[in-house]
Chains A and B, each alone.
Chain A
Amino acid sequence: MFPIAHFLYLGAFLFSAGLVIVIVKKNMIMVLLGIELMLNASNLNLVTFNQLYPDSIQGQMFALFVIIVAVSEAAVGLAIVIKVYHYYQTSVPDEINELKD
């Protein structure tokens, strides 16, 4: 069996990669992908940490709930992208600036 540290490194890498994508990428669809990566990094962490505490499955249960919430969040996110595209003909957040001081 692998030592669990490897999985934690992978989780940390996924989280950082997701955050970098959110900050660097211009298109909102790519930002959504970054958010999914961040959520999945936490899932990986939760499942891995559950190996340390094998007498309960709390971590795995949490991961299941996170998957469901992530799906509904992505659905709402895509709906918002469609709505924004309908009004602005673009899905690049930088070009959308009606609201300002």
Chain B
Amino acid sequence: MADLKDKLELIGMSLSFFVPELVLIVGIILLIGIGLRKKQYPPLLTFLSLLLFSFSFLCYVFTWRIYVTPQKIFNGFLRSDDFSAFLKMLFDVAGILTVLMTWRKQKEQRYLPEYYALLFAIVLGAHLLVMSMNLIMVFISLELISISAYVLTGFSFSKKGAEGSMKYFLFGSVASAVMLYGFSMLYGLTGTLDFSSAEFIDHLLGKNSTLFFIAALMALAGFLYKIAAAPLHLWAPDVYEAAPMPIVAFFSVVPKLAGIGVLTKFILAINIFGQSAFDWQFIISLVSILSLTVGNFSALLQKNPKRLMAYSSIAQSGFLLAGVAAFLPQGVHFMLFYATVYMFVNFLVFVYLQYFESYGFSSLESFSGAGRTHVWPSILILIGFVSLTGLPPTAGFTAKFFVFSSLWEAYHLSGKNILLWLLIFGLLNTVVSLFYYLRIPYYTFIKEAESGTKTNFLAFENLLGFVLVLLVFVLFFYPGLLMGWINKINFVL
């Protein structure tokens, strides 16, 4: 009986760190329950989702101090620490913003309860993924994200939606099968599934067999697929084109940051604190260079704004990976800063792409002269694109500057040429990205078109857009507000 009591106490202790996830689980069950009813009230569903996401977010804000000390929960399957808590807050904010974006379309969106339930499932999966310390947990939460995402891609209920969801499924399930094979090999090499344990590290120490290299590479492939990094990015443009706009904005932030979060931990484990026989820093830098180059140069040729943003998100994962590739604590801090800014800016752009889409602007040429009829949306989307490029006076500049400075420092400390190349490619690609990011603003402001009626300034999108733009400026002028907080985050394996 004492054994049982100990177990119950352990679960009780673990649950006290698990409140936000419980809220999300309750959300999934509630929404599916409401979905069974014949008559639904869309505003009620939206409000409920908003409430639950905000509650989960506020849990972290008000009880931040319990997440500061790393704590293993559920028998070491998960670990609650401030690194994961910060990322989890970002996921909740992304959830809130996605629900707000859906607000306008809630009447037209079919199967709204299931739509929100799947959103909750992805956010729950992302929460679990960044906390997981065990390969079982990594696999299950990654599949929770992936399977919900395959379904959610098809939620435009059109020919394109079905095709996008099929492509996502085929690529995704093969990638996760490959990752799983890598995991099984790592288990065979180490005898444990807990990748932060001393046993795992000890068994890999001094191992220079090709088998270890291939196994770890296969495992990495699964994560790199999830963040749409270059050799594994082929699904992104098709999926982004097929999915509804709020979902695209959501996909470009939540699964990506979750993948980066777990990759940061996993790469440290297989790198064995620099003792590994293989140069993992080289591989991450190479992937980062490839993503930057492929993403930016392919984006130059795009005509559809959604596909353009897909390639842009591939290039942005290159920058996020560059923060990881520095292999320094500052690198991880700057990566978190970059991730926060990227999330806000990306949502800013997508809010207005959705706005323009609802007025029938679906290709880049159709944006001609939109600056005259839709003055404020055009100005705000311009600020969004300027920030994505990384020009002052926006937070995008600060974020890119931080990432580059950590790369420069890492290059000085280690003297590895690949880091210098990564820095050079990053700078060159920032210039290239200017050409495609400013194409929509070019059409809206420079190109002439017949004048139409002026639209209402007090639109809901403008309110949301103003808040996001304000954040983008505040983070440029006072980056210390956020960096001061991030610098306190103690990243340990």
Contacts and interface: CB of A to CB of B under 8 A. Distances in A.
A58 B177 contact: no
Interface string A75-101: 011011101101110000100111101
A74 B183 CA distance: 21
Contacts of A73: 143, 147, 173
Given A18-B177, A46-B184, A73-B143, A61 B165 contact: no
A61 B75 CA distance: 14
A87 B166 CA distance: 12
Interface in B178-200: 178, 180-181, 183-185, 187-188, 191-193
B180 A39 contact: yes
A72 B148 CA distance: 11
Nearest to A82: B162
A58 B164 CA distance: 36
A39 B184 CA distance: 10
A52 B174 contact: no
Nearest to A69: B143
Nearest to A22: B174
Nearest to B178: A38
Given A62-B193, A65-B136, A38 B241 contact: no
Given A87-B159, A98-B159, A80 B166 contact: yes
Contacts of A31: 170
Contacts, number: 120
Contact of A84 (B163, B178, B183, B191): B163
B310 to A, nearest CB: 11
Nearest to B174: A22
B184 A45 contact: yes
Given A83-B162, A93-B170, A38 B191 contact: no
A72 B158 CA distance: 23
Tell me the interface secondary structure of chain B in the complex.
helix
Interface string A10-44: 01000100110010000010010001001101100
Contact-residue size bin, chain B (C-beta under 8 Å from the other chain): 35 or more
Contact-residue size bin, chain A (C-beta under 8 Å from the other chain): 35 or more
Given A35-B177, A38-B181, A84 B192 contact: no
A76 B150 contact: yes
A79 B166 CA distance: 10
Tell me the interface secondary structure of chain A in the complex.
helix
B237 A42 contact: no
Given A28-B166, A69-B143, A83-B154, A77 B136 contact: no
B90 interface: no
A13 B449 CA distance: 62
B173 A35 contact: yes
> Which of A19, A28, A39, A87 has most chain B Cβ within 10 Å?
A87
B184 A42 contact: yes
B8 interface: no
A12 B192 CA distance: 21
A87 B178 contact: no
A45 B136 contact: no
A48 B147 CA distance: 28
B88 to A, nearest CB: 23
Contacts of B183: 42, 62
Given A84-B162, A99-B160, A46 B150 contact: no
Nearest to A77: B169
A45 B181 contact: yes
A52 B181 contact: no
A66 B174 CA distance: 14
B16 to A, nearest CB: 25
Contacts of A22: 170, 174
B463 to A, nearest CB: 33
A53 interface: yes
25 contacts: A22-B174, A38-B174, A38-B180, A42-B181, A42-B184, A45-B181, A45-B185, A49-B188, A59-B193, A66-B180, A73-B173, A76-B151, A80-B150, A83-B154, A84-B163, A84-B166, A86-B162, A87-B158, A88-B163, A98-B159, A98-B160, A99-B160, A99-B167, A99-B241, A101-B307
